[in-house]
Structure 1
Amino acid sequence: MTSSTAKPDVILYEHDFKGQTLPLSKATPNFVPLNFNDKASSVEVVSGVWTVYQHVNYEGRRLTLGVGKYDYEFISKRIGNDVISSARPAEIILYQHAQFQGKILNLYDDTQSLVPLGFNDIVSSIEVTFGEWSVYEHVNYQGVRLDLNVGKYDIDYITKNMGNDVISSVKLRVPDIILYEHAEYKGQTLPLTEATPNFVPLGFNDKASSIEVTSGKWTVYQDVDYKGNSLTLGEGKYDFSFISGKIGNDVISSARPAEITLFEHAKFDGKRMKLSKDTPSLVPLGFNDIVSSIEVTFGEWKVYEHVNYQGKSLLLKVGRYDIDYIKKNLGNDVISSVKLA
């Protein structure tokens, strides 16, 4: 038995919402057989979140679009006019049972509650076909969160990291940093939500002239694999003059966020919570006073005994910290807030 939300829909127009059209409701890797290759001048996203690509098979420059209408001026500035050759929607598939069996729910956009869809607290396996998603323990994107990229996740992975039959809401991850091809936040864009060691396959190597950090603290690098000159940026907008003066124009090849992962049990086991920005309270995330081990993958962090960064604190640099270290220096199951140092 299959359940699904409304199918995603996008309409590509030959001219500014005029002329020949190409309506789509599923991933389409090649517009050539549809006689619409390199023809689109405007786009209307009716539902879901879509990414359009410069080349067939989802390659080349790309542009991600939510529900709305995008005219010639917008499209031509960000990806180019008459250059789109493929398109696909963000999609996550929830399965009732392990091994991707049982009832199925296809989702294409944020879903704050699975209750009305008859899928609350019954998910045992998940497939992400495209996009970057977070699943949550409670409705309204509350409780323990698990971030998922493209791939298949069976019951063992979900149970270890979050628990079985506990998912109540699902959300597309918004970009935490956006790199722009030109000054003044114009031209092609590269939105990122996670560490990205190489911009070359994304068609964005040595192209960034301005940057917007929407969440957390990010470091951008001159070379791939996080090498060469670097620049660390907090939340804010950084135009051409700032970027070129600090690291250079059109030189950025990789980027990664500050990141810390909290684990429920010792030896980095049990439920986990990945954070990339200041968190004044772990209570809404369902992670208050249960942390027994910690891994810092990048950046320097402070963990605190109480909410709002109060009480005893412990400074942690890149590394892994098991229960013995945390218990000796702060105490076990006492962490209530986390902040970038």
Structure 2
Amino acid sequence: MQNPKTAAWENLGPEMSALGTAFSREGGRKVEFPTDPKVKIWVAYEKPGFTGHQYLLEEGEYRDWKAWGGYNGELQSLRPILGDFSNAHMIMYSEKNFGSKGSSIDVLGIVANLKETGYGVKTQSINVLSGVWVAYENPDFTGEQYILDKGFYSSFEDWGGKNCKISSVQPICLDSFTGPRRRNQIHLFSEPQFQGHSQSFEETTSQIDDSFSTKSCRVSGGSWVVYDGENFTGNQYVLEEGHYPCLSAMGCPPGATFKSLRFIDVEFSEPTIILFEREDFKGKKIELNAETINLRSLGFNTQIRSVQVIGGIWVTYEYGNYRGRQFLLSPAEVPNWYEFSGCRQIGSLRPFVQKRIYFRLRNKATGLFMSTNGNLEDLKLLRIQVMEDVGADDQIWIYQEGCIKCRIAEDCCLTIVGSLVTSGSKLGLALDQNADSQFWSLKSDGRIYSKLKPNLVLDVKGGTQYDQNHIILNTVSKEKFTQVWEAMVL
């Protein structure tokens, strides 16, 4: 076996203590490191100081340097990847510094050949909004590779490239469900690179100690919005799970201060936002359901006067390409945008990307949980009902992009049974077909509304018949607490 040429792993900080065993060339000597189960993936580099060829090392054993696709047997530095691997999203630019004169492309998944998309293979800057990506010099995931964590890369030198050619990309994906979600937590550090004094928060905080100045941070659970004013005022900066070694990585200008922070709760509705050119929701309007890098490119006036957030959570930016002051918006109405934000325009905006949300639904009136009833081998006979808590997978549900899916059949969606949709219609599971009968929103009143029939919500049938515990559609009634559900996020 040809071992790595040296065991001089560079700059191993406290967070880099999870490598199991490394070998040096002198007689195959082992170098042991404490194991940290949070670290699943490492980036190894050919040269010291995180330079040279890059290699992605997942959990497992590599008995030969060819097993990790090495150009040779040299590995002289390495670092762990501790970021959030879900809901990957990045924007690639053909110009340096995210220039708008050239072309750009939003990437949400695997692209085997960027040339075929019309974007081309010239990339000089990248904004990784979420997830962890691997970019390849050649099509079909071959050639030199570069690992991209969340953050801004203003030139190809920032990701260790020798030129600006990227021909294929893919996000790193880990198992989507590994048990209860991690505790919500954000760690603030007084110096860059997670050095100096630190403070940790697990809940919304209206006032951070004035004597503490944040220069870097780690978000280890949940997503947060931090403010440069006390009591959730001033400029906002949205921070999703991941590591931010400096203020610029957080999207903050030099000298920015954090005075309060708020945990971003989950939202069970599809993203929809309406922008108006006049106050009080008048004048020309535009409705959006997806990210918009440059509002002006759609031919719409960026001088926005009022906003309605119909569903989802949105992040708006003062300028195009997700630059400038940002604001996090939940479903609400803003009749005067300038009074609300202090900004006279919206240049770009995007839905806030939520992870897959695993939860259970408890009915307020009965205390019972939404469950499946029947055999998955015959979906036509399967029904949805409430029953006692049994801790089974058929009581665990997933909310994703407007659909509610069951843990036991994640390729199936909660759907309305029958072609005639009316009060009294029953519920079942069906293969994901992107039909309106499969889209739902859980609103602030605790009711789950149908997109197909917005006046109908989920209810427990009741009565004395055999199907009294079946869940049906029913007309909204504020007096019926069997229509109210509590989402218990796991």
Higher relative contact order (CA 8 A, sep 6+): 1
**TM-score under structure 1 length normalisation:** 0.28
More strand by share: 1
More helix by share: 1
